[in-house]
Amino acid sequence: MPSDPLLDALRQVVTNDLPPSLPARTAFIVGSNPSKGARSPKLWNAAFSALGLDGAMFPLDVTPDKLGELLSLLDTDKRVVGVAVAAPYKPDFATLLGERLTAAAKRCGSINLMSRDAGGRLHGSNTDGNGAVESLREACPSFAELQILVLGCGGTGRAVIATLLGEMRPSQVTAAVRGDKHTTWLTGLGVSACPADLRRVDLGRFGVVINCTTVGWGDHASASPLSDDQIAKLSPDCTVFDVVYQPDPTVLLARAGKRGLRTLSGTRMNLLQAVIAFSTANSCADSAAVAAAMKAAVAR
């Protein structure tokens, strides 16, 4: 088999194994370790197959010092139609792309998708917020009338907050953050910030709590961003939404469920944002067919 310049170059940049060849429509998911179980390849590959497209998605595990080099490689090869961006690199790739961002991505300073623009270059957008809000709407149709507490203000947290503000007043949203690095951004939106440890916060006033941190996932899978005492202070009508989808349920959701609270995992959000992302990167695709294929893949 002849050598593939992109694959040869990628093998010098990423830390995981790569396929022996690439299809005409190639997609990747980039993160610190998506090869350890990211669901996007399963969803995208089901859609490629169902639509009869010569395409496939592969994981790329990469260290922070290689992000710029990786972006240059992916941008150059036009077989690359889409790149899903996983934690913790969503803000980093937004910075690397500079002005090549959608308006919404510029507002939140974070992306989870790179796809080709009209000029053929990769540009960044964010489907996390839309996926999260639509899944929340299904579980809690009245969310826009409630007070919402968002835990964390990283890439996913910012996307969720920015999308929530399209449907509700900034005074209805509070973000729990560590340190001062996020307060300027939140203040510019009119959103209140509180300490991540939630000291002196009246948890009972929130109708929805959304965990947008990585607590409960990966190396932190045995932990919860809220203690049992804090969960006990939530209103009985509160909806607890954890954007983490592996494991499902997380420790947070298991504990909230035991108390009788309505819970929502990131599984549905992950599916919805994957449909949006695939359809964006593959404009020839029918969104309904993509959704059906991905839903079937999840059920298997």
pLDDT digits (tens, 9 = 90+) for 140-186: 999 999 999 999 998 899 999 999 999 999 999 999 999 788 999 99
Place of tokens 């359809």: 279
Helices 40-50 + 287-299 axis angle, to 10: 120
pLDDT-derived band at 296 (thresholds 50, 70, 90) equals very high
Q: Is the separation of the CB atoms in 248 and 267 below 8 Å?
A: yes
Note the pLDDT tens digit of each residue in 190-221.
999 999 999 999 999 999 999 999 999 988 99
d(CA 109, CA 113): 13
Owner of token pair 């899978």: 221
Which residues neighbour 107 within 8 Å (Cβ) at sequence distance 6 or greater? 162
| Domains annotated on the chain, with CATH | 5-126+269-299 (3.40.50.10860), 129-264 (3.40.50.720)
| Separate counts of helices (H) and strands (E) for the chain | 12, 11
Phi, psi angles (nearest 5°) of residue 203: -70, -25
Q: What is the pTM of this model?
A: 0.84
Question: Has residue 1 got a pLDDT over 70?
Answer: no
Query: Do the beta carbons of residue 216 and residue 240 sit within 8 Å?
Result: no
**Using an 8 Å Cβ cutoff, are 56 and 45 in contact?**
yes
Residue 115 buriedness (CB in 10 A; 0-12 / 13-18 / 19+): buried
Half-sphere exposure of 180 (CA within 13 A, CB side): 0
Report whether pLDDT(267) > 90.
Answer: yes
Place of tokens 């932990």: 223
pLDDT at 104: 84
Give the pLDDT band (50/70/90) at residue 72: very high
| CA pair distance 209, 277, nearest whole angstrom | 25
Which residue, among 79, 82, 88, has the nearest Cα to 25 in the 3D structure?
A: 79
Single-letter amino acid, residue 154: G
pLDDT at 179: 79
